[in-house]
Amino acid sequence: MTTKPTAAVVGAGIAGLASSIALRRAGWSVVVLEKSQFRSEVGAAISIPPNATRVLSRWRFDFDKCGAVPNVASRFYHAATGETVMYEEYEDIEETMGFQSWSLHRVDLHRGLKGIATLEDGGLGEKVDGADVWSGQSRLIEDFTGKPSEVRPMGRSIYRWLVSMDDVLADPDLRPIYDGKLPGFKSWRDPVKEILWVSYTCRGGKVLNNAVVHPTQAGEGDDDLWHSHASRDQVFAMLENFHPAVPMRIVNLASEDGIKVHHLFKRPALTSFVNGRAVVIGDAAHVMMPTHAAGAAIAIESTAALEVLMAGVEAGDHTTLAKQLALFDKLRIPRCNFTMLASNAGPAWLAVPGVEQEIRRFYHGPLPPAGAMPWGHQFREALFNHDAYKAAEEALAESVA
């Protein structure tokens, strides 16, 4: 009887569980190491575009069970005036890209992935004692690259909260924004204070997710926590330039203890995601702002590449493993670093000095033009119209030709 190759996956977040599924499908035995017991429901919503839903659909992920809502339109308002500055519909995204774009609660996505990852044999592995996310990630990258971690604060943070759509639709000023409209992003941008507020529904359209990306304030939240408390007054002060009649009312709907804040971090793009037989995927590989809602999606893409490249690798065959991991780097470094650098540039995109030159160190494909908006058609085409399975299969075929 042939012994299966074995992988240890550190972290049972979205990227970790997706990696576990991909490796199991490739014929590997997988142990997942995770500190959290996931006993409390935390988090907010997440958007999963076609490049990732293509992968999840192959795994038979149950979008209906998870209350996924189609994301088929994007509207940007000027924060001060409330005027629409950009509106696009993409109801045909499933037809043009092959798969739907969805929004769902992060907890529901996680539960769905956990269900697939633990089919038949159950259990996620052993609890890891003495590890914490922030210092753990720093040590991981330091050990991985052989030099001190270069993770640095971006000076940007995010307020997040959820509200009931029943409450939103009961408000006469808010109802026209959401009622009867195509589901997707409703966003307000304050170019003066560089604030981007994004809202969209999840859980079958019953819950409205809100995320306000803003300049980090002194004394706001904890550097190493994802769920520090923020008050409504803090949010109101940040949104002083916003029109008072509409988006501000959504803040009033938040429970006083329901608003959370976390800080955003960045580091230089990695030149390799592979070190020996170790691979980094997800936030460990590419820390990015949520400008294009692309972080989880690009990580899921990477796990699809793993699924293709790790199939057929036998236990103890380190030569073949090294060859396949080199292919993984060749495939994923350009895509992941382009996505990270574009996301971290924010809505200003190519107006940010040096961003295009940095992207061209890794990626040589077409770029959305200057002025392209997040989730506009140029960025949708560049980021989301990608088949990670096909790319990996073609690279594998070329490597043995």
CA 22 – CA 118 distance, rounded (Å): 12
Question: Which pLDDT belongs to residue 37?
Answer: 65
**pLDDT value at position 129?**
39
What's the token pair of residue 113? 């992935």
Q: Given the structure tokens 């923020």, which residue do they identify?
A: 230
CB 51 within 8 A of CB 301: yes
DSSP 336-366: HHHHHHHHHHGGGGGGSTTHHHHHTTT--S-
**Eight-state DSSP code of residue 273:** S
- In 3D, which of 162, 160, 266, 157 has the Cα closest to residue 221? 157
The residue count for the chain: 401
What CATH fold (topology level) applies to the domain 6-40+108-149+271-400?
A: FAD/NAD(P)-binding domain (3.50.50)
DSSP state of 288: -
User: Residue 363: its pLDDT value, please?
Assistant: 98
Tokens for 219, please give them: 């004394």
Q: According to the model, what pLDDT value does residue 328 have? A: 98
Which of 11, 61, 55, 67 is closest to 36 using CA atoms?
11
131-137 LR contacts (CB < 8 Å, sep 24+): 131/35, 132/35, 132/224, 133/35, 133/224, 133/226, 134/223, 134/224, 135/224, 137/283, 137/284
Rounded Cα gap, residues 76 and 205, in angstroms? 20
The whole model's pTM is what? 0.91
Which helix (H) or strand (E) covers residue 398, if one does? helix 388-400
CA distance linking residue 240 with residue 193, whole number of Å: 10
Q: How far apart are CA 84 and CA 77, in angstroms?
A: 4
Note the pLDDT of residue 119. Answer: 81
For residue 372, the Cα-to-chain-centroid distance in whole angstroms is 20
Which pLDDT value is given to residue 130? 36
Domain range annotation of the chain: 6-40+108-149+271-400
Task: Report angle CA 140, 131, 294 to the nearest 5 degrees.
Answer: 55
Which residues does 74 contact at the CB level (< 8 Å), separation at least 6? 86, 87, 88, 90, 184, 185, 187, 373, 374, 375, 376
User: For position 368, what pLDDT does the model report?
Assistant: 98
Mean pLDDT by 10 residues, the chain (401 residues): 84 94 96 74 84 98 97 95 94 97 96 89 44 41 66 91 97 93 95 94 97 92 73 94 86 91 92 95 92 95 98 95 98 98 94 97 97 93 98 95 69
Residue with tokens 């035995």: 29
